Amino acid sequence: MSETSGPTGGPGDRRPGAAGPTDPSRRNALKGLGATLGAAAFVTAISPLRNLARTTSPEELMQKHYKELDSEEKRAILRRLEEETKLEYGAEARIRDHAAIPGTKFAYAINLSLCNGNGKCVEACHKENNHDRATNQSYIRVLEMPIGTMDMGRGNTTYDHDVPAKGKFYMPVQCQQCDEPPCTDVCPVQATWKEDDGIVVVDYNWCIGCRYCEAACPYHARRFNWRKPEVPAEEVNPEQGLLSNRIRPQGVVEKCHFCLHRTREGRLPACLEACSTGARVFGNILDPESEIRWILENKRVFVLKEELGTKPSFFYFFDK
Amino acid sequence: MMFRRSVTIILGILSGVVLAIWPTITDSTNSPTEAEPDLSVVRERPATFPITVRYPTPSPGVATGIVDVNGRAITVACEVCHSMIAEPPSPEALGLANLKDFHRGLVFEHGNLTCQSCHDPGDARSFRLANGTPVEPWDVIDLCSQCHGPQRKDFDHGAHGGMSGYWDLSRGPRTRNACTACHSPHAPKPGEVRPTFKPIDRFLTGSDPDHPTPRKDADHE
Amino acid sequence: MNRELSAPGQGRHWLSYPKFLVRSLAVATDGPFAFYAWMTVLTAVALVGANAWANQVTQGMITTGMTDHVSWGLYIANFTFMVGVAAGGVMMVIPAYLYHDETMHDVVILGELLAISAIIMCLLFVTVDLGRPDRFWHLIPGVGKFNFPVSMLTWDVIVLNVYLLLNLHVCGYLLYMKFLGQAPSPRWYVPFVLLSIVWAISIHTVTAFLYCGLGGRPLWNSALLAPRFLASAFVSGPAFIILTMLALRKFAGLSLPSGPIRTLVRIIRIVILINLLMLVSEIFTEFYAGGAHTASARYLFLGLHGFHGLVPWMWTAVCANLLAAFLFLHHSVLRSSLVLVAACVFAFVGIWIEKGMGLIIPGFIPSALHEIVEYSPSLIEWKVSAGIWAFGLMVFTIALKIALPVLAGRTEDLLPAASGPAQETGRVGS
């Protein structure tokens, strides 16, 4: 047998047809034909990827990690994202990069005696953060729980009756902004991390979409973009942050970021403003005069799943 | 010598691994020190912006059911009638059953208070505290706080009543709600509401035949 | 053994190595009609899988059955299982190299080739599970941002790739030496083989650590997970190798010795019982201690609040494992190849379910907020998974084709026509 001119690889190394002829050159020619056919079939099979290649710019593909960007590069990225928002959603957006305020560590508390489960916070989050409209996506889930237990197994998020129902209390759950976040540890590419003000953020342009963080989070705080979010142009919230509510790409993980595009400007998060019961308290835990400090010092607060040692910055308490 | 070189490489890799892990091992034991907050920045910042409380519009009067040429409802001030009543109703007899005219049908569910617990019988358009001190009609917070001390305390610390605007008053103002923004003074218990917004997770909607709507057992047992 | 390096000078290697590759390719692609038919079928399935994956990437993973509640599915289930199969090959290496089992030594390359194919499948299963495969380069140390050593996934990337390289090196070197007609030098492969033994343990331990390190998932958060993974790996890997050897005997007409099969059966007999013991102690702890942490196990074995999507899967696995254990322990397993095939198939299927659908999926049910959302793979997931299996089998078949002449003692097939004398022994290494 000759060792010259073997087939040139490819997974389609096969020869269609009947019993093998003994002539080596003919055999090699048939092998080559098989390989060519296989390669062509492979190219056809993965041709849907061409659509994706059209919508993904080289700049986006080669974009560096957030922490490695200088201000010039960040500016270029913000402009590019604004253009993309215009192009793909038909909406004018002002995307900015908000840095943590020095001397700030955010914390949140919810008074479960006040919360009546009306879902206003869920809706406000949905609108504020440009969530996918079709799925009513939101970073907050509200559990309706029977009074007398803290067993989430007896809770229900899909309740659809007038609230508050007799014998029930309501417990909104969102990202607990843990001081020991299991989600950031597991990320293989450091696409998610805890910032100086305690907010756990995601670099939507760095996440590879392995969803390990989603498996690691004990609070169901993370969401994956199973498809490209759909938001009508007139409903897009134009005030956007690079690490927060700008419209996320398909295939990456996102999460509650305490509305950092608001809170890092001193404003209250959208869920708090929407709360009509006043159950939500937000503030800077390092400021001894802050409301949140008063809560922690004067109410018997608790955290969810304390036994896991995640040290949440999100507290719950009852008045009565 | 190639063998020796490869052994060196492997040893190099292994020691690299150990060196790489070391900082995290030592890190975790030292972590409390890095949590020391720098409070100077916080204290230096003065609170400059105001907190505005949304009080009710003073003395709304009573709706007559008539509108003027511009379509605005015509209201009648309380004094219009109450100044003409010669004899103020006796405090003991004052209850829902005694109400006259358009006061009738008022839903009153507020403990065992009577009208004059808050309304000043001598001055129809103002209120009074339990000790008789008159209170401006818009100043509901002080009025309610007579009984609802814990709520007042929570309100003063931002833990009741909700707010909007700025958490950081050095950067912008804040708006608060007075009690009556949410609580009717005559029947303060908030009513039931329909939840506005539910997640439509895939497979939670039941639209997918493979994934029926989940059911939780919260209601039984 | 020759104490000098038996490899010829550098100048000749870069000429002869490409020749070796070309020759290997020629050997690998020559075969009877049945071979071409087999490869054609596998290619077709692999292409279906590639097409399904391309659609998944383009339209988003909405095309899978996964949700934010069950965020890993069939892909990661298969990944976990295939890491076990890759590690299982070491059950041939240990007798061959540590206990100097001569007949095992003759066929040990089967285990190494299986490891190569299985690891390639693992890497593919992880890749198809990514939402953004275009950002794969973020995972490359030095180029991207490799979160080592904190993320267990980075450990897994390292151990899997090194294990792949170790096995590629050992197999490649031994076959290359056959091609050159030289005796392989132990210096060039024995240390790597010994390292690969440790490494095989490490790949499955690290893979177990991926899951058992997550405090928020009670079903996985068990110190027993890594030992369980290893035990089941040392059943599923050898079971697949036994099936391969029986198939090679029947379809490739090889007269493989039955000593290695007996050794593997003896290993499986012990390990399958250890695996069942660990499964039982896991089940006992879960159910006897009770409490909210039992919810996942309850869902898996009994169903929870009217949901029992995984119950048939899990009981199939339990039955298959028990049946396999019974058959392996029965004396007829060494006499009747039918019984042996049945035992191996039951063990393979049982463990595939136990480690995949029966472990990865229930970890997410109920969810972190104790909501129950069930999972069943979508058609796209089945297609992609089948495609990867087909591709893995193609790799394995081609690798076997190259190694077959060695196994059959016909090393001259590998030799270039004009090259040195054929080896008189069919043994790979010694």
Residues C359-413: tens digit of each pLDDT: 999 999 999 999 999 999 999 999 999 999 999 999 999 999 888 877 666 666 6
Residue in A218, A216, B24 with CA at minimum distance from that of residue C210 = A216
- In chain B, the residue whose alpha carbon lies closest to the alpha carbon of A155 is B218
Q: What confidence score (pLDDT) does residue A268 get?
A: 97
Average pLDDT over residues C22-30: 86
Distance CA C126, CA C116 (A): 16
| Residue contact C373–B214, C-beta within 8 A | yes
Average pLDDT over residues C85-112: 91
Distance CA C209, CA A181 (A): 17
Which pTM does this prediction carry?
0.87
Residue range(s) defining the domain that contains residue C320:
22-413
Interface A-C: count of C-beta contacts within 8 A: 219
Distant-in-sequence, close-in-space partners of C330: CB < 8 Å, separation ≥ 6: C339
Calculated CA dihedral for residues A282, A286, A289, A292, nearest 10 degrees: 30
- In chain B, the residue whose alpha carbon lies closest to the alpha carbon of C149 is B21
> Which chains are within 8 Å of A by 3+ CB pairs?
B, C
Residue in C393, C350, C407 with CA at minimum distance from that of residue C174 = C407
- C-alpha separations of A301 from A54, A150, A198, A282, C404 in Å: 52, 14, 19, 14, 69
Whether residue C317 is predicted with pLDDT greater than 80 in this model: the reply is yes
- On whether any CB of chain C is under 8 Å from the CB of A14, the answer is yes
Q: What confidence score (pLDDT) does residue C26 get?
A: 86
Query: Which chain A residues have a beta carbon less than 8 Å from that of C417?
Result: 1, 3
Average confidence score pLDDT of chain A: 90
Query: Which chain C residues have a beta carbon less than 8 Å from that of B24?
Result: 149-150
Contact A225, A60 (CB under 8 A): no
Contact A239, A94 (CB under 8 A): yes
Q: What confidence score (pLDDT) does residue A60 get?
A: 87
Alpha carbons within 13 A on the beta-carbon side of C360: 26
Q: What confidence score (pLDDT) does residue B26 get?
A: 43
Interface test with A, best of C138, C140, C299, C410 (most A CBs within 10 A): C138
Q: How far is B16 from chain A (nearest CA, A)?
A: 18
Contact C38, C397 (CB under 8 A): yes
Q: Which fold has domain A106-317?
A: Alpha-Beta Plaits (3.30.70)
DSSP string, C151-186: -HHHHHHHHHHHHHHHHHHHHHHHHHHHHHT-PPPH
Is residue B96 in a domain?
Answer: yes
- On whether any CB of chain A is under 8 Å from the CB of B214, the answer is yes
Pick the more confident residue, B176 or A19: B176
Q: At what angle do helices C311-329 and C259-289 cross, to 10 degrees?
A: 140
Distance CA C309, CA C288 (A): 23
> What would the pLDDT profile of A171-224 be if each residue is shown by its tens digit?
999 999 999 999 999 999 999 999 999 999 999 999 999 999 999 999 999 999
Residue in C199, C30, C123 with CA at minimum distance from that of residue C388 = C123
Q: What confidence score (pLDDT) does residue B74 get?
A: 80
Sheet holding A314-317, edge to edge: A280-284, A106-111, A314-317
Name the residue among C53, C62, C151 with its Cβ closest to that of A186. Answer: C151
Q: What is the pLDDT along chain B (221 residues), one digit of tens a residue?
A: 445 555 555 555 555 555 555 544 444 444 344 444 444 444 455 668 888 888 877 656 677 778 888 877 787 777 777 776 655 655 555 666 666 666 767 788 888 888 888 888 777 778 889 998 888 878 889 999 999 999 999 999 999 999 999 999 999 999 999 998 889 888 998 888 888 788 776 554 444 444 444 444 433 33
Return the biggest CA–CA distance within chain A. 92
Q: What confidence score (pLDDT) does residue A28 get?
A: 84
Q: Would you give the DSSP letter of residue C96?
A: I
Query: Which chain C residues have a beta carbon less than 8 Å from that of B210?
Result: 65, 376
- Taking any CB pair shorter than 8 Å as contact, residues of chain B touching chain C are 2-3, 6-7, 10, 17, 20-21, 24, 201-204, 210-211, 214-217
Q: What confidence score (pLDDT) does residue A59 get?
A: 87
Is residue B80 in a domain?
Answer: yes
**Structural domain count, chain B:** 1
DSSP string, A15-52: --SSSPPS-HHHHHHHHHHHHHHHHHHHHHHTTTHHHH
| Residue contact B168–A266, C-beta within 8 A | yes
Distance CA C179, CA C8 (A): 12
- H or E segment at B127? strand B127-128
Q: What confidence score (pLDDT) does residue C415 get?
A: 61
Q: What confidence score (pLDDT) does residue A22 get?
A: 58
Is residue B128 in a domain?
Answer: yes
Q: Helix, strand, coil shares of chain A as percentages rounded to 5? A: 30, 15, 55
Residue range(s) defining the domain that contains residue B120:
52-181
Distant-in-sequence, close-in-space partners of A26: CB < 8 Å, separation ≥ 6: none
Q: How far is B201 from chain C (nearest CA, A)?
A: 8
Q: How far apart are the first and last CA of chain C?
A: 9
User: What residue spans define the domains of chain A?
Assistant: 25-55, 106-317
> What would the pLDDT profile of C53-76 be if each residue is shown by its tens digit?
999 999 999 999 999 999 999 999
| Residue contact B17–C188, C-beta within 8 A | no
Query: Which chain C residues have a beta carbon less than 8 Å from that of B15?
Result: none
| Residue contact A267–B158, C-beta within 8 A | no
Name the residue among A162, A286, A298 with its Cβ closest to that of B192. Answer: A162
CA angle C145, C149, C152 (to 5 degrees): 95
Residue corresponding to tokens 């035990």: C231
Q: What confidence score (pLDDT) does residue B156 get?
A: 93
| Residue contact B17–C374, C-beta within 8 A | no
Distance CA C253, CA C246 (A): 10
Is residue C16 in a domain?
Answer: no
- On whether any CB of chain B is under 8 Å from the CB of A117, the answer is yes
Is residue C144 in a domain?
Answer: yes
What are residue B62's DSSP bridge partners?
Answer: B76
Q: How confident is the model at residue C5 (pLDDT cuts 50, 70, 90)?
A: very low
Average confidence score pLDDT of chain C: 89
Amino acid at B87: E
> What would the pLDDT profile of C147-181 be if each residue is shown by its tens digit?
999 999 999 999 999 999 999 999 999 999 888 88
Average pLDDT over residues A237-261: 96
Q: At what angle do helices C152-180 and C379-407 cross, to 10 degrees?
A: 30
Alpha carbons within 13 A on the beta-carbon side of A63: 24
Distant-in-sequence, close-in-space partners of A40: CB < 8 Å, separation ≥ 6: none
**Structural domain count, chain C:** 1
Distant-in-sequence, close-in-space partners of A46: CB < 8 Å, separation ≥ 6: C50, C51, C53, C54
> What would the pLDDT profile of A285-297 be if each residue is shown by its tens digit?
999 999 999 999 9
| Residue contact C376–B216, C-beta within 8 A | no
Tokens of B158: 């931002």
Whether residue C129 is predicted with pLDDT greater than 80 in this model: the reply is yes
CA angle C204, C208, C209 (to 5 degrees): 115
Name the residue among A48, A218, A309 with its Cβ closest to that of C55. Answer: A48
Burial A207-234 (b: 16+ CB within 10 A, else e): bbbbbbbbbbbbbbbbbbbbbbbebeee
Whether residue A320 is predicted with pLDDT greater than 80 in this model: the reply is no
Q: What confidence score (pLDDT) does residue B59 get?
A: 56
Distance CA A143, CA A162 (A): 14
Residue corresponding to tokens 């949410």: B182
Q: What is the interface pTM, i.e. ipTM, of the complex?
A: 0.90
Tokens of C229: 């993974």
Beta strands A280-284 and A141-146: pairing type? unpaired
Whether residue A278 is predicted with pLDDT greater than 70 in this model: the reply is yes
Q: How far is A190 from chain B (nearest CA, A)?
A: 15
| Residue contact C130–A209, C-beta within 8 A | yes
> Which chains are within 8 Å of B by 3+ CB pairs?
A, C
Name the residue among B3, B10, B201 with its Cβ closest to that of C67. Answer: B201
Percent of chain A with pLDDT over 90: 78
Contact C346, C280 (CB under 8 A): no
> What would the pLDDT profile of A80-111 be if each residue is shown by its tens digit?
999 999 999 999 999 999 999 999 999 999 99
Q: How confident is the model at residue A10 (pLDDT cuts 50, 70, 90)?
A: very low
Q: Give the domain CATH number at C145.
A: 1.20.1630.10
Residue in A184, A191, A213, A182 with CA at minimum distance from that of residue A67 = A191
Name the residue among C67, C187, C306 with its Cβ closest to that of B202. Answer: C67
